[in-house]
Structure 1
Amino acid sequence: MKRTFTRAVAPFVRAELDQAREAENAGDPAQAFRYLERAHVVGQASTYWHVKVHGLMFLWALRQHAPGEAVGQVIRTVGAATKTALGLVPEGNTGGANVSPFRRMPVEPELAAMIRKARAGH
């Protein structure tokens, strides 16, 4: 039986989230956010992972005292919860408040490979 995308992409998203946590614990919040962005790109086709990553971005914004990012993440979390299942996800979008939530962006080759593997059920 073929695994769902959400289950298949989980190890890839979790690896990026682990890296984010490590970077933040090491005192590098900017690098931590870059890993959250990577997790967003990889998991955004899954409502579960899309919402979870935006929630983690929101918590990051609170810890960094970044009110603009926090507000942006609230809006993006609602969008992720209501639009992902409809396929209304701009491929490659990094998910931060510094980019339009509707903007398609190029996907790094390493991340594209993760997405392909997950779509193939690996």
Structure 2
Amino acid sequence: MKEMLHGAILEGFGEARLAIRSQDYARAYHWLERTHILTQRRPLLHAKSHVFMLYVGIRTRDPREVVGQIPRVFAALLFSTIWVPSGNTGRARVSAFQVMPISQELRNLLSEE
């Protein structure tokens, strides 16, 4: 993994942890969605982003997020190297198959792959 992409992934998980600790769940989801896009082609990191989203869903008592994240954790492990919907933010409120636009910043990071 290239240096800038790797750094952005570490930053995303780190910022999400800080936001969770301070109970700023909207900020945590922001960082997790961003990190999800960056990790979609890396099964373990991709699954990790969904585990974090599951955890936030539990903390916020959001049944839709909890129920939606459980199958996504397993799908991330099984299908990340086969096909992923590019730009998908990974939240349960979005179809797991929906392709979404990717910001120029994230496209630049992903171009390092």
If the length of structure 1 is used for normalisation, what is the TM-score? 0.84
Distance in 2, matches of 1:33 and 1:61, equals 10
Q: 2:42 matched to 1:52?
A: no
Computing the radius of gyration from Cα coordinates, the structure with the larger value is 1
* Residue number in structure 2 paired with 1:12: 8
* Residue number in structure 2 paired with 1:39: 35
AA partner of residue 48 (structure 2): K
State the identity as a percent: 33
User: How much has 1:60 moved relative to structure 2?
Assistant: 1.1
8 Å contact kept, 2:4–2:109: no
8 Å contact kept, 2:20–2:56: no
Deviation digits for residues 55-88 of structure 1, max 9, x if unmatched? 11111111111111011000111111111122x1
Residues 1-122 of structure 1 correspond to what in structure 2 (within 5 A)? 5=1, 9-86=5-82, 88-117=83-112, 119=113
SS in 2 for 1:85: coil
Deviation digits for residues 7-26 of structure 1, max 9, x if unmatched? 87432211011111222333
If the length of structure 2 is used for normalisation, what is the TM-score? 0.90
AA partner of residue 47 (structure 2): V
Two-structure CA RMSD over aligned residues (Å) = 1.8
AA partner of residue 116 (structure 1): S
Deviation digits for residues 14-55 of structure 1, max 9, x if unmatched? 101111122233332111111100000011111111111111
AA partner of residue 48 (structure 1): L
Tell me, which stretches of 5 or more residues in structure 2 are unaligned?
A: none
